[in-house]
């Protein structure tokens, strides 16, 4: 069963969401029209007076990569769900690329300019753009849902991760202050840990280098569990390869090395950094905001026998004596951004490659969802997909994992780009 359908009257006042079959009857009878495709919302063609509106509870399960959002009625019925995929890593990569291009340009053009260090202050509560993005996208969707649904209160899972206990469940007391490198330097610790041998070829009595098991270029960290020792030959040969690819055919050796490595704690750190910022942002909405713990959410989901999904976790946040799932096909949203403002596209070295126009082309922008009705030719038929318009009057589509070029005169806009893709 699909999500319930949002319904607003002629004054754009939110009403009770309706069942998909009821929404279909309203459309067939001409009493309503499609107001918005994502999230799917109907607009009644009349003003409704003195209608009893039942407030909904908006429940949120924030995550580092995916945030689950559910709407639950006062009868503990989950009628609508969405899973919002963030793009924090893409923002971080884009900032790193921009920094490299700017540094290169400054080194070429302003070689003798005095360096700038700590003469720029950050406001109180500042978060890195890749972290603040998670808060802002969640806030955007809450504001959007409040326009189409009668939301009465918000329940948020407010969880804190003990990153040291995630690595060592038995840690306690003064060990929190000492850490596992107490009395060791990093290199001496690694020499003893890896028995003064190369982790890949077991070479001894030669100069050894500190090696990242998961390369920094592939998201690896400098944590002690991601470090090993390698000879220069193996270090250069491995480069930024995945360890499984580098040790292909030596699965036992790869498993032994990976058994020393621990999963990265980047996601836990991101949640610890953004949890209170998100809570304060929700308080500004003026709605009643209550919180629940991660253990309580898991207990509710396990007790009710529900599958592990982000939007279902959101529906189980807080005190949940019972829960009835009335939808299975939910909206899946991926943050894509609105595109860059850089008119000259450059390569990784900062040299210009091509001009990138910012204005709409024949009324279409990159990222618009359009319906193409092709009357004849190789691509005859009707297609609905995201479009990338070109100056020659054609647009590129990706349909069934194949790139197609269709004339823009055959296209009709279904949903203007808003920084997200939908499924």
Is the pLDDT assigned to residue 243 strictly greater than 70? yes
- How confident is residue 171, by pLDDT bands cut at 50, 70 and 90? confident
* Pairs from 325-329 (Cβ < 8 Å, separation ≥ 24): 325/78, 326/1, 326/4, 326/77, 326/78, 326/79, 327/1, 327/2, 327/3, 327/4, 327/78, 327/79, 327/80, 327/81, 328/1, 328/2, 329/1, 329/2, 329/3
In this structure, is residue 109 part of a structural domain?
Answer: no
Please check whether residues 15 and 142 belong to one and the same domain: no
Pairing of strands 369-374, 411-415: antiparallel
In this structure, is residue 97 part of a structural domain?
Answer: no
Domain boundary among 204, 233, 258: 258
Q: How far apart are CA 78 and CA 68, in angstroms?
A: 13
Please check whether residues 61 and 156 belong to one and the same domain: yes
Q: Which has the closest alpha carbon to 417: 382, 372, 387?
A: 387
What is the Cα Rg of the chain in Å?
Answer: 27
DSSP secondary structure code for residue 102 in this structure: H
- How confident is residue 178, by pLDDT bands cut at 50, 70 and 90? low
Pairing of strands 77-85, 331-335: parallel
- Confidence at residue 372, expressed as pLDDT on a 0 to 100 scale: 87
- Confidence at residue 391, expressed as pLDDT on a 0 to 100 scale: 83
Q: How far apart are CA 41 and CA 26, in angstroms?
A: 12
Domain boundary among 258, 290, 319: 258
Q: What share of the chain has pLDDT > 90, as a percent? A: 37
- How confident is residue 346, by pLDDT bands cut at 50, 70 and 90? confident
Walk across the sheet containing 369-374 and list its strands: 381-386, 369-374, 411-415
* Pairs from 236-240 (Cβ < 8 Å, separation ≥ 24): 238/200, 238/211, 239/215, 240/215
Is the pLDDT assigned to residue 41 strictly greater than 90? yes
Is the pLDDT assigned to residue 154 strictly greater than 90? yes
Is the pLDDT assigned to residue 388 strictly greater than 70? yes
Please check whether residues 155 and 201 belong to one and the same domain: no
Q: DSSP letters along 331-380, please? A: EEEEE--S----SEEE-TTS-EEEE---S-BTTB-TT-EEEEEE-SSTT-
Per-residue pLDDT of 70-90, as tens digits, reads 999 999 999 999 999 999 989
Domain boundary among 258, 285, 304: 258
> Which residues constitute the domain of residue 14?
6-44
Please check whether residues 312 and 396 belong to one and the same domain: no
Tally of domains in the chain? 4
In this structure, is residue 206 part of a structural domain?
Answer: yes
Of the listed ranges 70-79, 142-151, 371-380, the least confidently predicted one is 371-380
- Confidence at residue 176, expressed as pLDDT on a 0 to 100 scale: 67
In this structure, is residue 108 part of a structural domain?
Answer: no
Please check whether residues 351 and 377 belong to one and the same domain: yes
Q: What is the CATH number of the domain that holds 153?
A: 3.30.420.10
Please check whether residues 299 and 412 belong to one and the same domain: no
- How confident is residue 130, by pLDDT bands cut at 50, 70 and 90? very high
Please check whether residues 349 and 375 belong to one and the same domain: yes
- How confident is the model over 302-326, as a mean pLDDT? 92
- How confident is the model over 294-306, as a mean pLDDT? 90
In this structure, is residue 105 part of a structural domain?
Answer: no
Per-residue pLDDT of 198-235, as tens digits, reads 989 989 889 999 889 888 888 888 888 888 999 999 99
Give Cα separations from 22 to 19, 78, 179 (angstroms). Answer: 5, 17, 61
Please check whether residues 243 and 276 belong to one and the same domain: no
- Confidence at residue 281, expressed as pLDDT on a 0 to 100 scale: 92
In this structure, is residue 29 part of a structural domain?
Answer: yes
Please check whether residues 308 and 291 belong to one and the same domain: yes
184 versus 295: the higher-pLDDT residue is 295
pTM for this structure?
0.81
Please check whether residues 66 and 205 belong to one and the same domain: no
- In DSSP terms, 43 is beta-bridged to 8, 33
Place of tokens 């607009």: 43
Mean pLDDT in the chain? 86
Is the pLDDT assigned to residue 173 strictly greater than 90? no
Please check whether residues 247 and 382 belong to one and the same domain: no
Of the listed ranges 102-111, 304-313, 356-365, the least confidently predicted one is 102-111
Of the listed ranges 45-59, 134-148, 207-221, 354-368, the least confidently predicted one is 354-368
Q: What is the CATH number of the domain that holds 380?
A: 2.30.30
In this structure, is residue 27 part of a structural domain?
Answer: yes
- How confident is the model over 172-194, as a mean pLDDT? 72
In this structure, is residue 122 part of a structural domain?
Answer: no
Q: What share of the chain has pLDDT > 70, as a percent? A: 92
Is the pLDDT assigned to residue 118 strictly greater than 80? no
Per-residue pLDDT of 252-270, as tens digits, reads 888 888 877 666 678 888 8
- Which uninterrupted H or E stretch holds 314? helix 310-315
Per-residue pLDDT of 11-36, as tens digits, reads 999 999 999 999 999 999 999 999 99
Distance of CA 197 to the CA centre of its chain: 40
Alpha helices per DSSP H over 62-128: 88-109
- In DSSP terms, 352 is beta-bridged to 346
Please check whether residues 37 and 60 belong to one and the same domain: no
- Confidence at residue 262, expressed as pLDDT on a 0 to 100 scale: 64
- How confident is residue 141, by pLDDT bands cut at 50, 70 and 90? very high
Which stretch, 92-101, 286-295, 379-388, has highest mean pLDDT? 286-295
Q: How far apart are CA 378 and CA 380, in angstroms?
A: 6
């Amino acid at each position: 069963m699909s999500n319930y359908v949002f319904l607003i009257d002629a004054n754009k006042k939110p009403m009770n969401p309706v069942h998909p079959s009821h929404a279909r009857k309203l459309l067939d009878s001409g009493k309503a029209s499609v107001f918005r495709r994502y999230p799917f919302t109907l607009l009644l063609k009349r003003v409704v007076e003195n209608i009893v509106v039942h407030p909904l509870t908006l429940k949120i399960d924030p995550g580092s990569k995916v945030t689950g959002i559910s709407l639950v009625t006062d009868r503990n019925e989950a009628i609508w769900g969405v899973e919002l995929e963030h793009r924090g890593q893409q923002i971080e990569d884009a900032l790193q690329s921009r920094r490299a291009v700017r540094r290169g340009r400054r080194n070429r053009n302003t070689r003798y300019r005095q360096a700038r260090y700590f003469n720029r202050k950050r406001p109180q509560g500042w978060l890195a753009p890749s972290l603040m993005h998670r808060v802002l996208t969640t806030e955007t969707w809450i504001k959007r849902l409040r326009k189409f649904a009668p939301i009465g209160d918000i329940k948020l899972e407010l969880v804190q991760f003990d990153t040291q206990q995630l690595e060592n469940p038995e840690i306690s007391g003064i060990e929190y202050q000492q850490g596992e490198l107490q009395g060791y330097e990093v290199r001496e610790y690694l020499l003893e840990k890896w028995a003064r041998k190369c982790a890949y070829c077991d070479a001894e009595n030669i100069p050894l280098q500190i090696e990242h098991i998961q390369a920094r270029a592939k998201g690896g960290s400098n944590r002690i569990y991601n470090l090993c020792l390698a000879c220069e030959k193996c270090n250069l040969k491995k480069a930024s390869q995945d360890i499984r690819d580098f040790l292909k055919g030596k699965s036992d050796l790869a498993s032994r090395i990976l058994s020393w490595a621990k999963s990265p704690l980047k996601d836990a750190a991101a949640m610890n950094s953004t949890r209170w910022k998100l809570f304060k942002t929700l308080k500004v909405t003026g709605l009643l905001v209550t919180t629940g713990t991660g253990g309580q959410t898991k207990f509710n989901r396990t007790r009710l026998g529900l599958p592990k999904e982000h939007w279902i976790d959101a529906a189980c946040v807080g005190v949940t004596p019972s829960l009835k799932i009335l939808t299975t096909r939910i909206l899946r949203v991926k943050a894509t951004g609105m595109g860059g403002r850089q008119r000259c596209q450059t390569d990784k070295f900062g040299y210009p490659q091509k001009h990138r126009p910012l204005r709409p082309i024949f009324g279409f922008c990159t990222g618009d969802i359009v319906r193409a009705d092709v009357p004849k030719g190789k691509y005859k038929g009707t297609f609905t997909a995201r479009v990338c318009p070109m100056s020659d009057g054609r647009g590129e589509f990706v349909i069934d994992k194949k790139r197609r070029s269709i004339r823009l005169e055959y296209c009709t806009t279904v949903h203007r780009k808003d920084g997200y893709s939908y499924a």
